[in-house]
Amino acid sequence: MPTQIVVAGAVIRGAAVLVAQRLRPPELAGRWELPGGKVAAGETERDALARELAEELGLADGDVAVGDRLGADIALDGITLRAYRVDLLDGEPSAHDHRALRWVTAAELPDVDWVPADRGWVADLVRTLSRGSS
């Protein structure tokens, strides 16, 4: 049986990445994640991520550029989590589906209270942000 693909966006502006604080479910509420969501039938992963960023952050199509994959897939109970680099070109994200948003630098990433699955991308995020700011 195929697994559900869930895409996450590492939204990058300058030398920082956007993290979103979860509202639900209760066991994850208050912890931080990369925004994103499920890929619908007939939808490409990049299209799904652009749609999710519009729904969750209020970012329009022209506000973001979905780029290359970031890190390895993370398998979790019939779900495959897949992250992409997303460059913020315009607009200002707002928390439509999260408690809060914040920009974090490479140095701050290890100290974020991540949802367990997203912690798997921290080293990739640190490398990406460190490369971008040099």
Instruction: Kindly report, residue by residue over 2-56, the tens digit of the pLDDT.
Output: 689 999 999 999 999 999 999 999 999 999 999 999 999 999 999 999 999 999 9
Domains annotated for the chain, with CATH where assigned, are 4-132 (3.90.79.10)
CA distance 12 to 90: 11
For residue 99, give both structure tokens. Answer: 């408690």
Q: Count of CB atoms within 10 A of residue 90's CB?
A: 9
Per-residue pLDDT at 1: 56
pTM of the entire predicted model: 0.93
Q: Is residue 71 pLDDT above 60, yes or no?
A: yes
CA distance 76 to 42: 22
